[in-house]
Amino acid sequence: MIDRADRSGFSAWWFTVDRTAFFLVLALIAIGMMLAFAASPAITGGPLTAGDFRYAARQLTFTTLAGVILVATSLLSLKQVKIVAAIVFAGALVGSFLVLFVGADVLGARRELDFGPISLQPSEFLKPSFAILAAAVLSDRGKLPMPRPAITFLMLLPALAILLKQPDVGQTGLLLSLWGAMLFFWGMSFLWVGAGLGVVGVLGLAAYEIFPHVHHRVQQFLEEPGTGYQAGLALKAFAHGGLAGVGPGAGTVKYRIPDAHSDYIFAVAGEEFGLILCGLIAILFCCLTVRLLLRAANAPQPFCQLAGAGLALVTAVQAFINMGVAVSLLPAKGMTLPFISYGGSSLFAMAFTMGLALAMTRQRPKVAIRADGVLQWSRA
């Protein structure tokens, strides 16, 4: 039992952190670990050859480190959050730039830095750190040399240029969506929001015309959804699994799905555990997003409100895109499912994101003055 009167580090954290959101994150991570064991044989073996659980073992190591990142980040004060976000954003920019020269070339794209036992995708850390920095600028009440939206865009511009050079259209779109959403939460007029949506539409059309892989995927989706190789196999996996799934380890379609352990992990869940688990995953993401948005809305500081909403939104959008692609509601896009897809970069970045969100929404004590002039502690 933990005593509320105990003011030690863990006790102070336990009674101020949003435990509901924390346990929702743990539930998603646990499902991801279970699916790592389900998908690992499909990556290391085949229908007629025995696979092993080496990917699951690695994911277990990544999960342990992610847990440390999650808790450690949630312990940060608001001042420390801003400092850490600035350092991470700068590091992610430098890392994303280095990827252009020393990153591994995978299907014509350079996105990861190889560190031997682990490969890191620096761009994954741009989203949460930018959300914090943009919130800090937008909520600053001091006089600034130029309009706040312009400052946030100038902060974002180098990242957009680097991501388009890699090229990584998906991460570029996510960052632009995050920036636009935070301006909307900040209170930008609907006229400017509409103009921004128009610009996003023009940029999407430009990406369709400039990048051959984007053109191919969109054209394939518009003409015959679900007919692509990966999309078709994913739909077969869902059909094979039905309502309750074929059972752990009994899936067969997963052996033919490329990236079954990462981009199409949702299809593995559908085949082996059925619509029940897929629905549970979607519900957990919805509950987590709504919980964080409500906590952010009730935060006393504008900075916490903006940052918390941005962090919740970017997680929800990424999850929606991954699941939408898996069921052929969206064109194919190499984007991981937060907390569930295999990989250290994705898991570490999402643990960092949720750690920041928990730090934003903690109920910090503050001093209040009663009518009789006596100081007393209250929860904010």
* C-alpha–C-alpha distance, residues 235 and 233, integer Å: 5
Burial class (CB in 10 A: 0-12, 13-18, 19+), 336: buried
Report pLDDT for 366: 55
Report pLDDT for 63: 93
Q: Rounded to 5, what percent of the chain is helix, strand, coil?
A: 70, 5, 25
Show pLDDT as tens, one digit a residue, over the chain (380 residues): 555 555 566 777 788 889 999 999 999 999 999 999 988 888 877 666 767 788 888 999 999 999 999 999 999 999 999 999 999 999 999 998 988 888 666 655 667 777 767 778 898 999 999 999 999 999 988 888 888 888 998 999 999 889 888 878 888 888 988 988 888 888 877 777 777 677 777 766 776 677 666 666 666 666 665 556 778 888 899 999 999 889 888 888 888 888 788 888 999 999 999 999 999 999 999 999 999 999 999 888 899 999 999 999 999 999 999 998 888 888 777 788 999 998 888 899 999 999 999 998 887 655 444 455 554 544 54
Cα end-to-end distance, the chain, whole Å:
24
Within 10 angstroms of residue 232's Cβ, the number of other Cβ atoms is: 15
Report pLDDT for 230: 78
**Reported pTM:** 0.86
* C-alpha–C-alpha distance, residues 318 and 335, integer Å: 7
Domain chopping of the chain, boundaries:
17-362
Report pLDDT for 250: 82
Residue type at position 221 = F
Q: Which is nearest to 314 in space by CA: 363, 355, 353?
A: 353
Report pLDDT for 308: 92
